[in-house]
Amino acid sequence: MTKAGPASVEFRNVSMRYGSVTAVDNVSFTVEAGKLVTLLGPSGCGKTTTLRMIAGLEIASDGQILIGGQDVTRLSAADRDVSMVFQSYALFPHMSVLENAAYGPTVKGLGKEKSREMALDKLALVGLKGFENRYPSELSGGQQQRVAVARALVLEPQVLLFDEPLSNLDAKLRRRVREEIRELQQDLNLTVAYVTHDQEEALAVSDKIIVMSNAKIAQQGAPRALYEEPANAFVADFIGDANLIDVTVTAVVDGRADVAIGPASVSLPARGLGPGPAKVAIRPESLLLSGQVGQSSLPGTISKCAYLGNHLDIMVETPVGELFVIQYGHHAMLEPGTPVSLSFAGSGVTLIPPA
């Protein structure tokens, strides 16, 4: 059997309707071959449905799906070279680790010896050499997760899908396993579509993130671009924390906007906006506290201050509402009622269109 290697996945105006429910609404994106692309969004926004359409477990109501440039829109799951790692792992409890991993090739009729050889190879790859004869119930959550990955990898699919693969692991293990998945994907040059609702996980593992909201794509791009230049209030708020403030753009000259934030004024990239009402998204670490009052600063009063080890969480009452500020490093606590002045860092302050 010659393997095709990793393939791209392309959605062209794809929709999925269940009766009156539109689970995925006119979605277009590409997962480039050999890249890890994450579908990120809150529960119910259409992530699993999108993955299932890649796998062929659901057939799209509308639009076109291409894998490796071939139209697979109407192909069943069995006719697509795609494997999926499910949220629950879905290991067979009565089969050993080896039998679980060898399941795919065995069902394909590749023969017992060949299937066993392929399974051993992939189990070694995910660090499970020596665990072949155990049963799933004799493994930790992280080990079960790796068996599921080995089983999905065994036929060397052109595309590998992960649906919230870390949700059954505790917080510390989650970080390690997500790094393992990312390393494996890069070392083996796999095409991966990865689903999560956890923005930090998405930022940590992805080449590209597709943020979904209510069955639609809210924004797609590199992790850094989404964090630094959110296209709308939903993305600004979903990826990282943001203070969303109503502002007025007073003038735009050469792509820079003069923005009135209450009594303060700042100059920001206009991002295509003209004069008029807009919003500004400000990261909590991009609000700088000082005693100095100037034209570009906002007066305020401390309303809360909490000590969280490596940073302070601070709430400041200002003319544009209560703002959330984070101070990293070892700063003195601030008493409620203390007058302060807020200025704006050079990054993490972004104009977005009004809602």
Ligand X SMILES: Nc1ncnc2c1ncn2[C@@H]1O[C@H](COP(=O)(O)OP(=O)(O)O)[C@@H](O)[C@H]1O
State both tokens at 282. 């400000």
Nearest residue to Mg ion on Cβ basis: 48
Asked whether 336 and 304 are in contact (CB, 8 A), the reply is yes
SS3 state of residue 198: coil
- DSSP element (H, E) containing 184: helix 171-187
State both tokens at 62. 């509308």
- 300 near ligand X, judged by CB under 6 A: no
Q: 45 or 65, CB closer to Mg ion?
A: 45
* Angstrom distances, CA of residue 340 to CA of 288, 302, 347: 10, 7, 21
Out of 1, 2, 20, 21, the residue judged to bind ligand X by CB under 6 A: 21
Site string for ligand X, 26-65 (x = CB under 6 A): ---------------x-xxxxxxx----------------
Where are any strands of DSSP class E within 197-273?
208-213, 216-221, 243-253, 256-261, 264-269
Residues that bind ligand X (rule: CB under 6 A) add up to a total of: 11
State the DSSP string of 12-58: EEEEEEETTEEEEEEEEEEE-TT-EEEEE-STTSSHHHHHHHHHTSS
Out of 18, 92, 307, 328, the residue judged to bind ligand X by CB under 6 A: 18
Least separation in angstroms between CB 87 and Mg ion: 7
- 196 near Mg ion, judged by CB under 5 A: no
Instruction: Give the bridge partners for 326, in sequence order.
Output: 313
Q: 23 or 166, CB closer to ligand X?
A: 23
Out of 9, 23, 202, 257, the residue judged to bind ligand X by CB under 6 A: 23
Site string for Mg ion, 46-85 (x = CB under 5 A): --x-------------------------------------
Interface residues toward Mg ion, by CB under 5 A: 48
